[in-house]
Amino acid sequence: MIKLARTLVSTVSALALVAPALAQSALPQATDSYFMSAQESLAALIAQQPNTGKAKNVILFVGDGMSIPTITAARIFEGQERGVDGESNSLSFEKLLPYVALSKTYTHDSQVADSAPTATAMTTGVKSVNGTIGVNQSVVLEDCSTQAKATVTSIFEQAEAAGLATGVVSTARITHATPAATYAHSAGRDWENDTNLPEGTTECADIASQLVNWPAGDGFEVILGGGRANFMTAETADPEYPEKTGSRKDGHDLVAEWQAKYNDGAYVWNKEQFDAVDIATTKHLFGLFEGSHMQYEADRAKDAGGEPSLAEMTVKSIEMLSQNENGFVLMVEGGRIDHAHHAGNAARALMDTVALSEAVQAAYDAVNPEETLIVVTADHSHVFSIAGYPVRGNPILGIGGTADDGKAYTTLGYMNGPGAAVYEGEAPVAPEGAEADAPLTIRADPAGVDTTDLDYLQQALVPLGSESHAGDDVAIFAQGPWAHLFHGVVEQNVIYHVMAKAIGLDGAAK
What are the catalytic residues? 115
DSSP 287-343: EE-SSSSPPPGGGGGG-SS----HHHHHHHHHHHHTTSTT-EEEEEEETHHHHHHHT
Residue 91 buriedness (CB in 10 A; 0-12 / 13-18 / 19+): buried
Q: What are phi and psi of 452, to 5 degrees?
A: -90, 0
Calculate the alpha carbon distances from 480 to 43, 101, 284, 374, 449 in Å. 19, 15, 27, 6, 46
Strands 412-417 and 460-463: parallel
The span from the CA of 137 to the CA of 121, in Å, is 11
The span from the CA of 163 to the CA of 395, in Å, is 49
DSSP 227-268: -GGGGSBTTSBPSS-TT-B--B-SS--HHHHHHHH-TTEEEE
Q: Provide the CB-side half-sphere exposure for 453 (13 A, CA).
A: 10
Give the SS3 label for residue 388.
Answer: coil
Q: Of 88, 120, 135, 93, whose CA–CA distance to 486 is shortest?
A: 93
Torsion angle, alpha carbons of 125, 126, 131, 133, to 10: -50
The span from the CA of 162 to the CA of 204, in Å, is 27
The span from the CA of 258 to the CA of 263, in Å, is 10
Torsion angle, alpha carbons of 137, 138, 139, 140, to 10: 110
| SS (HEC) of 459-470 | CEEEECCCCCEE
Run of H or E residues at 171:
strand 165-173
Residue 267 CA to its chain's centroid (Å): 25
DSSP-derived secondary structure letter, 487:
-
461 contacts 421 by C-beta, under 8 angstroms: no
Paired strand residues for 426: 439
Q: What are phi and psi of 157, to 5 degrees?
A: -65, -40
Q: Of 367, 355, 472, 438, whose CA–CA distance to 57 is shortest?
A: 367
Torsion angle, alpha carbons of 367, 369, 372, 375, to 10: 110
487 contacts 440 by C-beta, under 8 angstroms: no
